[in-house]
Chain A
Amino acid sequence: MSFHPPMAYGATFHRSTRTLAEAGEPFAYTPEQRASFDRIVARYPAEHRRSAVLPALYLVQAQQGYVTANAMRYVAALLGMTAADVEDVVSYYTMFHTRPVGTFVLSVCRTLSCALNGAERVTEEICAALGLKPGETDPTGTFTLVEVECLGACDRAPVVMVNDAWQECLKPEEVSRLIDGLRTRGEAALSGCHHAIEARGATR
Chain B
Amino acid sequence: MTPPAFEPVLTRHVREPDGFTLDAYLRREGYVGLKKALALSPDQVIDLVKASGLRGRGGAGFPTGMKWQFVDKKSPNPKYLACNADESEPGTFKDHLLMERNPHLVIEGCAIACWAIGAKVAYVYIRGEFFHVQHVFERAIEEAYARGFLGKNVLGSPFDCEVFVHRGAGAYEAGEETALLESLEGKRAQPRNKPPFPAVVGLYNCPTAVNNVETLANVPLILTRGADWFAASGPDRNGGPKLYCVSGHVKRPGVYEAPMSVTLRELVESYAGGVPDGRTLKAVIPGGSSVPILLPDQLDAEASFDGVQKAGSLLGSAGIVVLDDSTCMVWLAENLLHFYRHESCGKCTPCREGTDWLHKILRKIERGDGQMSDLDLLSSISGNVAGKTLCAFGDAAVTPVLTTLKHFRHEYEAHIREGRCTLPAPWRGRRPAGAHGMPPRAGLAAGGA
A-to-B contact residues, CB < 8 Å: 5, 7-9, 16-21, 43, 45, 48, 50-55, 57-58, 79, 81, 85, 87-99, 110-113, 115-118, 120-121, 123-124, 127, 133-135, 146-157, 161, 164-166, 192-193, 195-196, 198-200, 202-203
Contacts and interface: CB of A to CB of B under 8 A. Distances in A.
Interface of B: 14-17, 19-20, 87-93, 95-97, 100-101, 127-133, 136, 162, 164, 166-172, 183-189, 204, 245-249, 253-255, 285, 289, 319, 321, 323, 327, 332, 335-336, 338-339, 342-343, 345, 357, 360-361, 364, 377, 380, 427-431, 433, 436-437, 439-440, 442-449
A196 B442 contact: no
Interface of B is mostly: loop
Given A152-B96, A198-B15, A17 B289 contact: no
B90 A54 contact: no
Contact of A112 (B16, B130, B332): B332
Counting chain A CB atoms within 10 Å of each CB, the highest count among B20, B188, B377 belongs to B188
Contacts of B89: 150
Contacts of B255: 155
Nearest to B189: A92
Contacts of B338: 110
Contacts of B129: 95, 148, 151-152, 161
A91 B167 CA distance: 17
Closest 8 CB pairs of A and B: A120-B429, A93-B169, A154-B247, A50-B186, A94-B170, A155-B253, A95-B170, A164-B131
B16 A199 contact: yes
A113 B339 CA distance: 12
A154 B285 CA distance: 13
Nearest to B361: A7
A98 B448 contact: yes
B339 to A, nearest CB: 5
Given A113-B90, A147-B439, A149-B343, A18 B168 contact: no
A53 B187 CA distance: 8
Given A54-B186, A79-B186, A149-B339, A134 B439 contact: yes
A89 B186 CA distance: 8
A120 to B, nearest CB: 3
A111 B338 CA distance: 8
A99 B87 CA distance: 27
A134 B17 contact: no
A93 B249 contact: no
Given A99-B447, A121-B429, 19 more contacts: A7-B361, A17-B444, A18-B444, A18-B446, A43-B162, A55-B166, A92-B443, A95-B169, A97-B448, A112-B90, A117-B248, A123-B436, A134-B436, A148-B170, A149-B88, A149-B90, A155-B254, A164-B131, A195-B96
Contacts of B444: 16-18
Nearest to A122: B429
A154 B319 contact: yes
Contacts of B323: 116
Contacts of A147: 436, 439
B186 A81 contact: yes
Nearest to A66: B448
Contacts of B88: 149-150, 152
Contacts of B439: 134-135, 146-147
Nearest to B132: A193
B252 to A, nearest CB: 9
Contacts of A20: 446
Nearest to B133: A193
A115 B335 contact: yes
A153 B96 contact: yes
A192 to B, nearest CB: 7
A103 to B, nearest CB: 16
B247 A8 contact: no
Given A94-B442, A123-B429, A155-B247, A111 B15 contact: no
B271 to A, nearest CB: 12
Nearest to B250: A155
A157 B252 CA distance: 12
A96 B339 CA distance: 19
A87 B443 CA distance: 10
Nearest to B184: A51
Contacts of A151: 129
B169 A192 contact: no
Contacts of B204: 45, 48
